[in-house]
Amino acid sequence: MKSKKSDPLSTGKVYAAAIGYLRKNSAIFIPFFIFFIFDFISLAVLYLAPRMPLKLLFGPPIRTFWGEEFLHYPMNFLLLSQLSSLSRMVIGVVFGSLLTGMAVAMISDVYNKKQIHLKDSFKASLKRYFDLFAIVLIFTLLFYFLQKFAVWGLVKYFVSGRQRLFFVGAKLWLGPGLLCLNFILAAFIQAAFVYAIPFIIIGKNKLFKSMIKSFGLFGKFFIRTLILVSLPMFVYIPISILQSKSSILITKFFPESVLLLLILGSLISSLVIDLLVTVSTTCLYLMNEEKIGTK
């Protein structure tokens, strides 16, 4: 009996290749570290928003949408998580798209045994900035509105008088249930779009063709892609749980603990989750391109 050959595109081999590239080429960390710096600066600005002179800029919208009390200590920390989440989405679309494209170009160079040149990788990404911007915007808006729709649907369902959904009460659905639902939504949406940037940067495809090909490659490697995308995300679950308990952190510890948690979350998200997801899925794309052909 002939033994089966090991799958050259197995999840383990993809991760081994990705980690090998990161160990030998620390320059790959640079785009993700730059994104963390942008996010950190944004957090610092939002933290100082209730103070002069930033209060002149941020005061009116905070009063209008959330209320005057959120401009005062310690209530400002209850709003900080929400504002930082919105800020990160904007930074992700405007700067993250460009930096991810840059990282994908660098990974491609490493895979093809070329010397990494930051300037060339940046130029390759900048050249396709419109497509990168658009794909990240579509992905971000899709996740944002689906998330909002899920909350709206659950609230409407239980406000109508129903006590349980799938034998689970409102308290669990609107607490841990929402965290699980958001995790699943994030994993599936990101997995569906995750190959679009490699198709744009490496495959030189246009926006909509890249999206369609990304969906196709996701379907082809459905389980593997979900593992590569969702496995690093598990690291963030404790952060998400703690962020949903901001009021407890403020009363049991100290208000500034919310800010420290957000900084830790940004560090993990940028330098662990985004890094591993981008490198591993780009490796799978490149390995598939070599073995089967993705163009």
How many beta carbons lie within 10 A of that of residue 19, not counting itself?
14
Identify which has the larger pLDDT, 49 or 171: 49
Element (H, E) at 8: none
- The pLDDT score that the predictor gives to residue 292 is 47
- The pLDDT score that the predictor gives to residue 70 is 86
48 belongs to a structural domain? yes
2 belongs to a structural domain? no
Q: Distance between CA 185 and CA 187 in Å, rounded?
A: 6
Element (H, E) at 163: none
144 belongs to a structural domain? yes
Which pair of tokens denotes residue 106? 């660098």
Q: Distance between CA 90 and CA 31 in Å, rounded?
A: 17
* Cβ partners under 8 Å of residue 130, min gap 6: 207
217 belongs to a structural domain? yes
The residue segments making up the domain with residue 179 are 11-291
| pLDDT level of residue 255 (50, 70, 90 thresholds) | confident
Mean pLDDT of 276-295: 81
**Partner residues linked to 169 by β-bridges:** 164
Predicted confidence (pLDDT) at residue 8 exceeds the cutoff of 70: no
* Cβ partners under 8 Å of residue 91, min gap 6: 35, 38, 39, 42
Looking at 92-201, list the stretches that DSSP marks H as alpha helix, in order from N- to C-terminal side. Answer: 97-111, 118-127, 129-159, 170-172, 178-193, 196-201
* Cβ partners under 8 Å of residue 172, min gap 6: none
44 near 58, Cβ under 8 Å? no
1 belongs to a structural domain? no
151 belongs to a structural domain? yes
Amino acid at 260: L
5 belongs to a structural domain? no
pLDDT in tens, 120-152: 999 999 999 999 999 999 999 999 999 889 888
Predicted confidence (pLDDT) at residue 295 exceeds the cutoff of 70: no
Q: Domains in the chain: how many in total? A: 1
pLDDT in tens, 213-254: 999 999 999 999 999 999 999 999 888 888 877 888 888 888
196 belongs to a structural domain? yes
Write the burial class of residue 249 (CB in 10 Å: 0-12 exposed, 13-18 middle, 19+ buried).
buried
Predicted confidence (pLDDT) at residue 293 exceeds the cutoff of 70: no
Mean pLDDT of 26-34: 95
Q: Distance between CA 160 and CA 166 in Å, rounded?
A: 16
Mean pLDDT of 90-108: 96
